[in-house]
Each structure stands twice: as C-alpha cells, then as structure tokens.
Amino acid sequence: MLRYAIPLVLLALLGCLFYAGLSLRKKVDPSYVPSALLGRPMPEFELPTLADASARIGSRDIVGKVALVNVWGTWCVECRHEHAFLLRLAKSGMPVFGLNLKDDRPTAQRWLETLGNPYVTSAFDEDGRVALDWGVTAAPETFLIGRDGTILFKHISPLTGQVWQHDFLPLIRAQCGATEPGCPQLAPLTP
C-alpha cells in the first residue's frame, strides 16, 4: 500500500508546486520584473529642467509630498497614449514630475506646448544616466513617491484609470489624509 502512496503524495506535492509557480505569481506575467527600488528612498539626482537648461530640478524638490515621477519621451509612442490621462491626473490635483528621457529639447518642448503640460516640472535626462539609477527599462514608467521620499510603487507601461484606481489610489490613501501637508487633495477625475 505504502509503495503506491508515496509516489502519489510526491506527485500531488509537485503538482501543488507547479500550480503555485505557474498561476500564483504576481501579475501572472512571466515578463514581470520586480523593481529593486520599491520601499527604498528614491535615487538622488539633479538635472537641468526641460524648459530651461540653466534651471535645475532634483530629488530634493520632490521630497516632502506625495508625487508621481513619470518617465517619458517624444520618441515613445505609448507615452502619447498615456498623455491624456496624465493631464486629467494633474487637473485632479496630483503633482506629476516628468523625467524626459533621451530626447531632443526643442521637440520635447513643442510636444508639451501642443498636447498640454501635465508636469510640475520635467527633468531633462539627455543620456539616460539618471533613468539608469532609477532602474528604468523603457518609457513610459511611473513611480509613486511617498512623503518621506521612498518609492511606494512603480508602474511600467501607460498609466490608465484602472491602474490608478487599483494600485495608486489605495497607496496614496494609506499614506495620508487629504488635509495633512504634502498630501494631494484629489478631485474626482474628469472624464
């Protein structure tokens, strides 16, 4: 009896292992890359702004409030899809900082003039050196920064209403109420 039971039990255990490995993995997505930076302070940086090569923007300007850092570029098709949603977010009161990646300054400035500018400020990361410190693989990527400057969440690919409701808003609400300093007072998103 036992000589049949042992292989069966082993088979069942292996089945459980494979089931867990194949189906319970976060996002069920084999291409999901965990971010090494979640829960860690955002990497320090200082860069010229997109609008003005002599002005500077850096991590020090972001610390102290709940904010988004959105990596974008005019060469990035998906960023164009995402742009309308970023505008709605900014209008609802969410501070969005831009990290313009490997772009041409006049082209990027024109993009914001024609499509609208959702960013508090955009940093101009010409050679992608800062993006590398942030573990950016490609645009668009969006980081949620907590009040103390830690990275709370990272979303790869365009930000959508669904992702915003499901992943970002709960984390923002857990961080703070609307009345505390550094907390965004979010109006409902306009359609």
**Binding residues vs another protein (CB under 8 A):** 31, 33-37, 77-78, 102, 128, 131-138, 156-158
Return the DSSP state at 8. H
Tell me: cis bond preceding 181? Omega within 30 of 0 counts. no
What backbone torsions phi and psi does residue 8 show, to the nearest 5 degrees? -65, -45
Closer residue to another protein, CB minimum distance, 135 or 182: 135
Closer residue to another protein, CB minimum distance, 111 or 134: 134
Q: Give the C-alpha separation, 82 to 142, whole Å.
A: 11
Least gap, CB of 187 to another protein (angstroms):
29
* Beta bridge partner(s), residue 124: 100
Instruction: Say whether 90 sits in a helix, a strand or coil.
Output: helix
Closer residue to another protein, CB minimum distance, 132 or 187: 132
Closer residue to another protein, CB minimum distance, 68 or 172: 68
Least gap, CB of 30 to another protein (angstroms):
8
Closer residue to another protein, CB minimum distance, 55 or 138: 138
136 alpha carbon, distance to own chain's centre: 10
For residue 175, what are its two tokens?
């961080």
Q: Which of 186, 158, 156 is nearest to 171 (CA)?
A: 186
